[in-house]
Structure 1
Amino acid sequence: MKNYQEWYDKTKSSLLRHPQLLQLMRVFNRMMTVLMPLAYLTLLGTSLMSKNLGNDFYAYILVPALGFVLLTLVRKWINQPRPYETWGIVPLLDKDSSGNSMPSRHVFSATIISMACFHASLPVGLILLVLSALLGLVRVLGGVHYPKDVLVGYACGLIWGILFFIF
């Protein structure tokens, strides 16, 4: 991205002029690291207690786990630097790791959990998919991922979920 530095500087200064929005963005980013595991554990718990224990419960464990491992391997192979490593920016979200920016594992994880929940409950799944997309936006605005990182992470989660939960 040729003008990333300029774009991020404008975005960051806009967010810094609205401290409530910046705080909301940071709280949302942290909240998602609690909400998605809670949604996932709730899904596993309700699946475990249902009469149709067999297929769904094991699929809800194996599909996200296998996707997570495969995505992690691809990410390590690509090993793309993060925006704050390549450009002279200070991210708005706390992050100090290097490389492994693409695809976003946070967004993939949120999306595959959303797809599993979508399989169990259409309304809950749709809400979680919207929240996963918002997480991607927050990760980009926060300076820890490029837009393509979160788009690929989201797409991978959708495709993986469609392959295993919809078909």
Structure 2
Amino acid sequence: MRKYMKNYQEWYNHIAGKIENKPFLLRLLRTFNRFMTVVMPIVYLTLLVTTYFQEGFGKQVLIYVFISATGFVILSLLRKKINAPRPYEEWDIKPLLDRDSPGQSMPSRHVFSASIISMACLHASLSVGVILLILSVFLGLVRVLGGVHYPKDVLVGYICGLVWGVIFFLF
């Protein structure tokens, strides 16, 4: 890992320094991260409630819950098995976001969750789903710039969410 990212510490400290020197950018980074972790579950619950009122407690509500939940559990088990260290554990960097627990960096569960919720919404509404998928990309960027994930962690989390989310369209 260090060979591939031999200048990671230098790169991160350079980027983090630019963000830290602009209080607006630092607040924006932290606010967006918090916003996404609060809003995405609300969006998901809204999707479930809306689907329930449109179709009743039927197959579609169960599909949205089952596919999302199984994906989350499988991804959580996978990341526990991989147990990849976080950037701040391997490098002498100070993350801009509050530090998460150690290890289990890969794949990003925040980004996976955002992308799987986005895919469920995409199934229900193309425009809402596309907007949420774009916001999920920004969440990945924020998690990298915040120093709590490597780029590959968020990319794998995003791709896993997209791939698992395709299952919504098969039912």
Fold shared by both chains (TM-score > 0.5): yes
SS at match of 1:50: helix
What number of residue pairs does the alignment pair up? Answer: 166
Give the Cα separation in 1 of the matches to 2:45 and 2:135: 17
SS at match of 1:144: coil
Match of 1:67 in 2: 71
1:96 is displaced (CA, Å) by: 4.0
Contact 2:118 2:130 in 1 (8 A): yes
Contact 2:100 2:148 in 1 (8 A): no
Match of 1:111 in 2: 115
Please tell me the root mean square deviation across aligned C-alpha atoms, in Å.
0.9
TM alignment of 1:74-153, pairs within 5 A:
74-153=78-157
Give the Cα separation in 1 of the matches to 2:143 and 2:10: 18
Q: Does 1:8 align with 2:22?
A: no
Structure 2, unaligned runs of 5 or more: none
TM-score by length of 2: 0.95
1:33 is displaced (CA, Å) by: 1.0
Which stretch shifts more, 15-24 or 40-49? 15-24
Give the Cα separation in 1 of the matches to 2:9 and 2:73: 32
TM-score by length of 1: 0.97
Q: Does 1:47 align with 2:51?
A: yes
Give the Cα separation in 1 of the matches to 2:99 and 2:169: 35
Work out the percentage of aligned pairs sharing the same amino acid.
Answer: 64
Post-superposition Cα deviations, 1:6-64, rounded to whole Å, max 9, x if no partner, equal 10011011111211011011000001111101100000001111136422100110000
Give the Cα separation in 1 of the matches to 2:59 and 2:144: 36
